[in-house]
């Protein structure tokens, strides 16, 4: 650059092939003078001069320059050309200035939509939440109060047209102690089998006594 101070990236120009464009990103203090690019094509020297004042405006050029500077800083950090602390400071400053996601920065979306209409008073309410795994409700909040169940009433139309009210009685609920397991209440024929077993034992005993009397010597 002839008349402008430039912060160029990449600082060392790479090799390019035929019909491949050369892309440079530079931050200039002013649009003045010209830029001269020199190289070699095989064994022949090659150069071109471009006026800086004729540069066209574009969008996103600053981010492109910042991304390339961040890439240069990462390479310098990896190759030990720059200390990790200095490289991270350079990367962080460029990322924050140009709003770029890097290894050290990220974007955060902030929703500014009001969830409460303006002027509405605040309300305090308790939300039910599950206890952490392994916690016992009774040990933290105490035993749950047992609420008496109200008797259930039903209507029955009598033959004479009058209404009769029948109250259902509550069956007592057995309380469980800590550490007990509630088993289902089912009906079995255990009593009937016990009676049948006693009868069979009695008949067997009578047959045994009868057989002994029959086989005893006369």
Q: Where do the structural domains in the chain lie, given as residue ranges?
A: 6-54, 61-98
pLDDT given at position 25: 86
In the chain, at which residue ranges do the beta strands (DSSP E only) sit?
A: 6-9, 25-28, 34-41, 44-51, 153-157, 163-167
What tokens were used for 82? 């720059």
Return the number of other C-beta atoms located less than 10 Å from residue 9's C-beta: 20
Pairwise CA distance, residues 160 & 59, whole Å: 94
DSSP 138: H
Q: How do 34-41 and 44-51 pair as beta strands?
A: antiparallel
State which H helix or E strand residue 33 sits in: none
The pLDDT tens digits for 3-28 are: 777 888 887 778 888 888 888 888 88
Is the model's pLDDT at 151 over the cut of 90?
Answer: no
Contact between residue 45 and residue 38 where contact means Cβ atoms under 8 Å apart: yes
The pLDDT tens digits for 34-46 are: 888 888 888 899 8
Q: Locate all alpha helices (DSSP H) within the chain, ordered by sequence.
A: 61-78, 84-98, 137-141, 190-215
Instruction: Please state, in angstroms and as integers, the Cα–Cα distance from residue 56 to each residue in 9, 51, 59, 177, following that order.
Output: 19, 11, 10, 86
The pLDDT tens digits for 106-141 are: 988 888 888 888 888 888 888 888 888 888 888 887
Pairwise CA distance, residues 92 & 70, whole Å: 9
Q: Is the pTM of this model over 0.75?
A: no
């Amino acid at each position: 650059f002839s008349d402008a101070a430039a912060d160029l990236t990449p600082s060392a120009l790479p090799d390019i092939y035929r019909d491949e464009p050369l892309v440079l990103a530079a931050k200039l203090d002013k649009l003045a003078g010209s830029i001269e690019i020199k190289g070699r094509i095989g064994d022949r020297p090659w150069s071109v001069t471009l006026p800086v004042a004729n540069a066209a405006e574009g969008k996103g050029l600053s981010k492109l320059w910042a991304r390339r500077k961040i890439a240069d800083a990462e390479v310098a950090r990896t190759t030990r050309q720059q200390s990790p602390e200095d490289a991270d400071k350079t990367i962080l400053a460029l990322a924050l200035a140009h709003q770029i996601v890097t290894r050290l920065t990220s974007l955060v979306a902030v929703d500014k939509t009001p969830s409460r209409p303006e002027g509405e008073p605040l309300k305090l309410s308790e939300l039910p939440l599950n206890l952490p795994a392994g916690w016992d409700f009774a040990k933290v909040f105490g035993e749950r109060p047992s609420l008496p169940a109200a008797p259930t009433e039903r209507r029955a139309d009598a033959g004479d047209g009058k209404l009769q009210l029948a109250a259902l009685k509550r069956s007592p609920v057995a309380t469980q102690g800590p550490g007990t397991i509630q088993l289902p209440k089912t009906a079995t024929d255990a009593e009937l089998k016990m009676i049948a077993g006693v009868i069979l034992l009695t008949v067997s005993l009578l047959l045994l006594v009868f057989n002994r009397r029959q086989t005893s010597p006369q």
